[in-house]
Amino acid sequence: MDFDLNGWLVGVNAGANFTLTDGIVAGIVGDIAWSGITDDEVFVPPGGFDVNWAGSVRGRIGFDGGAFLPYVTAGLAFANATLTAGNGVEVGTNTHIGWTAGVGVEFKATDDLSVDLAYRYSDYGAQAYGVSDFEFTTHQVTAGLNWHF
C-alpha cells in the first residue's frame, strides 16, 4: 500500500570542497533537518506516519564554472519516523537508514556567500512498526545559503 507523504524540512548543512583538477571540484557535505513530513491517513480511522527529522552524509563532484558550480551528489541518508494508530496510540518510532542521490547548482552571490539549489531522491529503507514493515522515499527540492570561509 502506498501513502502520500508530504511536507517540508528546515535544517543546516556543513561541508568542504576540494579542487581536484582545473575545473573539477569534489566535496563532502552533511545535513540534518527538522521535518514536517507527514501522512495522517495511514489507518482507518486515520492514524499517522510522521518523519521527525532527516539527514544525510554525501559526496559531491562538480564543475567549477566561476560564478556557478553544477554538481551531482550521492551518499547515506537517514531519518527518524513515528507511526501512530488510528486510536492515537503510538505503534513505534524508528530510525531508517538508506541512500540518496541528486543534482544541484551553487551560484556565487558574494565572495563569502552562495545560493544552493538542488534536487535529491532518498530511499530510507524499511523498519518494523509493530507487525508491519514501513518504508518510505522522498523527493526533495531544496534552496539554501552557504557561507564560505
**Ordered DSSP codes for 27-91:** EEEEEEEEEEEEES-SSSS--EEEEEEEEEEEEEEEE--SSEEEEEEEEEEEEEEEEE-TTS-EE
Asked if residue 10 lies in contact with residue 55, where contact means CB atoms within 8 angstroms, the answer is no
Please report, for the chain, the start and end positions of each structural domain, with discontinuous segments joined by +: 9-147
d(CA 65, CA 22): 10
Three-state SS at 122: strand
Least confident of 43-52, 86-95, 123-132: 43-52
Cis peptide leading into 46, omega within 30 of 0? no
Query: How many Cβ atoms from other residues are within 10 Å of residue 58's Cβ?
Result: 22
Question: Mean pLDDT throughout 1-17?
Answer: 86
pTM here? 0.91
Q: Average model confidence (pLDDT) for the chain?
A: 92
Domain 9-147 top-level CATH class:
mainly beta
**Would you place residue 9 in the very low, low, confident or very high pLDDT band (cuts 50, 70, 90)?**
very high
Question: Mean pLDDT throughout 38-65?
Answer: 86
- According to the model, what pLDDT value does residue 38 have? 87
**pLDDT exceeds cutoff 60 at 44:** no
- According to the model, what pLDDT value does residue 60 have? 97
pLDDT in tens, 71-100: 999 999 999 999 988 888 889 999 999 999
